[in-house]
Each structure stands twice: as C-alpha cells, then as structure tokens.
Amino acid sequence: MVQAQDYINPLIVQRADPYIYKHTDGYYYFTASVPAYNLIEIRRAKTLNGLANAAPRTIWRKHPDGSGAMSQLIWAPELHYIDGKWFIYFAASHTKEFDHNGMFQHRMYCIECDNPDPMRDEADWTEHGQIETPLDTFALDATVFEAQNKLYYVWAQKDPAIKGNSNIYIAEMANPWTLKTKPVMLTKPEYDWETKIFWVNEGPAVLHRNGRFFLTYSASATDENYAMGMLTVAEDADLLDPASWSKSETPVFQSNMPIKQFGPGHNSFTVAEDGETDMLVYHCRNYTDIKGDPLYDPNRHTMVQPFTWNDDGTPNFGKPVPYNYK
C-alpha cells in the first residue's frame, strides 16, 4: 500500500501551482510557476520522486518587457495531452501594474506542440494567443477535462458585478483554444474560509471517480488562510447547469498548523506508480511571517501525498504531511 512517507516532501522546492500528468509513455510530466514568473519549463521522470532531481527544460519564454500580451508574470501552466497533441494553458499579463480595481491584469493563453516529445525544442511550441471569454477581466488558472465526449474549460475570473477577486467558471470548448458556449459560474467566494483577506476562488482541478466529477479549487489569500474547497457533480449530469453541482460548505484541505504546513492549495491530481493510488499534488509554505506581497515570496514548495476515499465515494484528502527530506 502506498504511504505518504514513500515520497520526498517537499518534492520540488520553490515551485508553486504544481501540475503533474502521467502520460501513456510511462513518464510523469511536471510543470509549475517558476519564482521569476518569466518562462514555462517541463521536467519528466519515471517516478514521482524522480521529478525532484529531473532536469527542467524551458519550452517557452515570456515576450519582451513592454511588448504587450504575454510579457509579464507567467502563472500556473498546465500541460494537457488532447487528441495526440500537447497543450499548455497559462495566464500572463502585459504589465506588473494593477488595474483600476487594484488587481493584476492577467488573461489566459494556450500554446501547442504536435511533437510526441514536448521537451524536444522550444521551436516545437506554437502560440494560439488569448483564450477569449465574454468578460475582458482578470482571468487565470485554466484547466480542461473531457466528459460526455466533449472538452470542457474551467477557469477563474473576475466579474466586476460580483464582490471579490475571482469566481470559477465552466464552458464547453469548440477546440482546445476556443470556447463554444457561454461561461457559467460554478462557485464564488461566500463562506468565511473563502474570504480571508481576499475573496478568492481559483486554481480549479478536476478528478473523475466513482461516477462523479470532483472539482477542487483554492480560496482566500495565498498565505496560511489558503485552503481547498470542492464541488461535486454526477458524471451524466448537465455540467453547464450550476444546479447540477453541489458545493462543500467547509474546506476539504487546509493548513496543518502543528507541523507548520501553511496555505496548501492550487492542487492537481495524479496517480502513484502502482497506477491505482490517487495522489494529491499541491504547494505549501512552512512559515507565516511573509515579508511583503506573498506573491513574491518564492517559498511555496511542491508537495505530493496519497489520499483515500470515504465510504460515500468522496475523496478524503487528509491533512498536509510533514517534511521528510534528509
């Protein structure tokens, strides 16, 4: 049986918003935000622990300063394999300055690689530009998943008519970089644990098990208040109907104060080497006295741990595990 202590934690230091995908070639592929927010890199290994020392390969770099879109603050890339091609979804801005709402100015972008090896060459990656949504506002943290023979896009975005920084939306896609349907809001910050310092729902991740889709997300400020919530929907339901989804009233994963694991979140999911045990991938800090803006504190580290399932078929993520590296 897979145990938490089987894995190095933190697995990868100074990598926030971690995303791990186990491909059909047997490799685990890893990408995440880098502290300088200036490029996208991929690393791969045959085991999860192997990612710790795998050499990263830069596959895309931000556009030059002052050149417009995709020139600043490259955030939260995710690597997906769709219909035989590789896609990376990420957010980027044209400036580090805030807008009139006091918010960053990110929009969402997509790049594609049709080479079987996504790490071969930067030249293999082509830009599809911005993924357009009806609202021209702060948007980030996109993910995609397939259901009912359709491709769905889930992301976080600011609606000026709703209090807070971001809500989570879903839409069907016409292709991997174009929305087909009008976005539908699935959740907005409303509970006290979603509104600590900042009113935030962001970082969605989707898991398909036991006849349901579980959509986790992260809420509140990116300090020790950061915590994960979850939405649940039946796999055969209308995914574009908000009424199909139920929302947990309490966090499903949060800081583990006694062992100094603070603000776990922006998670993704993968499976252990046995091909069966579900693994939670997330970032966390081990201190709370952050100097200045938490965004520019680089010490959010990538963590991995197995999780179990409750009798009712819902995931039980447990608590963040302690560091165990020597």
Contacting residues for 296 by C-beta, under 8 A, at least 6 apart: none
Q: How far apart are CA 185 and CA 183, in angstroms?
A: 7
Q: Which residues are catalytic?
A: 17, 202
User: Distance of CA 113 to CAs 85, 87, 116, 127, 272, Å?
Assistant: 6, 6, 8, 9, 26
